[in-house]
Structure 1
């Protein structure tokens, strides 16, 4: 377990699957976390489903882990903040996949009378392929191309592009009507970053117009003006390739080691880690059971008060974290 008596003391928290700060959030990996003076070993004794839980102490000056009702907010004391906070879009800013992108794909297929429908489970499997055009191409290559599809490779590429363009138009209607809300805590964390001079970007395999619509319509024009978007075909290779995060790092003028990424999927996590960045996972509807062993932290969402999970200071603390085996 842990012992703690001073500001320099360390808590080692181990679990094969998770360290629970509340019943619904977790860290992965073995982490060494600095704690303030007021933490005592007696306050670090409870366990939930095999996960160590921090409880029972109100910490001085809100440093370290702040007591928050029945759980804690992950807000580690940090002299360092990330230089850039990079968000994936779908599943991180908005849980768009099942009732947004999937519906828009199906409506496009119906309009074109292709005789194709992607159900919830099938679409979950297809999400393992980054990029909508790539997703459709892989699907048709596997199950056979619709009768209305052209035969030549170049013509099929243009056919896929036209389907994706229409799908994006239908998806943007859903966003503009605000039928899909921001996930809890997204606006809060972005405001903390922008207010602290931390650069913010959205890095997504989705179409740039769709991502821009989400940022503009749901986060508002004032925030949108301060957020750089890297999306769609801006890089030749989609996640899990790190190209989009490498481009963001270079364009923003920030070293990868000073970036913290918020992702929701295993392929996004792989891209962030391959780019040399810290990565927090906020699980989404389709990704809850994916393997996030390499993540620096794993939560069910970012969260707004009084159900806040983590904040900008916690993101900064990841840049200073020590890990032990």
Structure 2
């Protein structure tokens, strides 16, 4: 009969994703002496795996190479699965903002001779506003509308819609040419979820056509036909409002509390948490310095082996709420 052992780990200070600055001792759940037993406990967004066979201990999620930062445990410890895996699009599936959407906005402004250019820093500020049409409207309301823009509110709404339509066409051309690659680990995590029968959806403030193009061209048609897309004006209020995530859970017929969201921004995190869902942050170029204290876990990216940061088993572990102090 297998005996049991309880161990305590004296860990160094965690990275910035964990608030504590002092070394602490964390008690790891009891595990059995088998040929290769693994126990795990998630604490403050960081997961620990202990392997009895090679006695390796990793504070996972710390961004180490050769798998030392990877959140992977044996299948025996990862029985829980999310009821749905929900991805944001821009910055999560593809790092599209700086060299994709921003460039397409500027090309549109140039075509329409508006005399407007959004530089890298300005666009980073504008990303705090969810939705491209909303972003342009807020910008023009603040700095003044172009001389050749309409004067009435209704005409301006139509004007903004026409700009956004053209911007979307230019952006889709970039995607179709595959000039913007998927972020590391996205296809892996999607395949793991679909392979386990976990519904996958993309929930984005971006135009539905643009999101569909990213999913179809970059993830491929076989995956795309299994992925539900919620995007653009499908809800009246965009992130940080939780409407799009609530719609996704309702449509998929799942409990929001058992959904796991992958986001990259503060407004996306706020939307996911307001919907009552678990949320993992994968930082993107524009969001690396944002405040993610409410996130369930924070990583630089999802990652593929040997640079894997987390997997589907880790997503499921977040639902177990096994926090140890």
Please give the range of the TM-score, normalised by the shorter of the 2 chains: 0.7 to 0.9
3-state SS of 1:86 partner: strand
TM superposition score normalised by structure 1 = 0.84
| Match of residue 135 from structure 2 | 135
CA distance in 2, matches of 1:317, 1:175: 34
Give the C-alpha shift of residue 92 in structure 1.
0.1
Retained in 1: the 8 A contact 2:48–2:57? no
CA distance in 1, matches of 2:47, 2:252: 37
Change (3 A) 1:70 1:92: closer
Q: Which residue of 2 aligns with 1:201?
A: 201
Q: Show structure 1 runs of 5+ residues with no match.
A: 21-29, 39-51
> How many residues are paired up?
299
How far is 1:73 from its partner?
Answer: 1.6
User: Counterpart of 1:73?
Assistant: 70
Alignment RMSD:
3.1
1:312 counterpart = 2:304: no
Deviation of the 1:142 alpha carbon: 0.1
Note if contact 2:261-2:277 (Cα within 8 Å) is conserved in structure 1.
Answer: yes
Question: Would the aligned equivalents of 2:6 and 2:28 in 1 still touch at CA under 8 Å?
Answer: no
Query: CA–CA distance in 2 between the matches of 1:213 and 1:34?
Result: 45
Residue 298 in structure 1 maps to residue 293 in structure 2? no
**Offset from partner CA, 1:72-108 (integer Å, 9 cap, x none):** 3212522210010000000000000000000000000
Please, which runs of 5 or more residues in structure 2 have no aligned partner? Answer: 20-24, 34-45
Contact 1:19/1:53 (<8 A) preserved: no
- 3-state DSSP of counterpart to 1:71: coil
Could you give the per-residue CA deviations for residues 12-50 of structure 1, whole angstroms, max 9, x where no partner exists?
A: 977583359xxxxxxxxx998657557xxxxxxxxxxxx
Say whether the 8 Å CA contact 1:63–1:75 is kept in structure 2: no
SS of corresponding position for 1:72? coil
Q: C-alpha displacement at 1:71, in angstroms?
A: 1.5
Measure, in 1, the Cα distance between the counterparts of 2:28 and 2:97: 35
Q: How does 1:74-223 map to 2 (within 5 A)?
A: 74-76=71-73, 77-223=77-223
Contact persistence 2:69–2:307 (CA under 8 A): no
Contact residue 31 and residue 323 of structure 1 kept, 8 A: no
Contact 2:51 2:57 in 1 (8 A): no
Aligned pairs (5 A) from 1:259-270: 259-270=259-270
Q: Could you tell me how far 1:301 is from its partner in structure 2? A: 0.1
2:5 aligned with 1:18: no
Partner deviation per Cα, 1:122-161 (whole Å, 9 max, x = no partner): 0000000000000000000000000010000000000000
Instruction: State the match for 2:241 in structure 1.
Output: 241
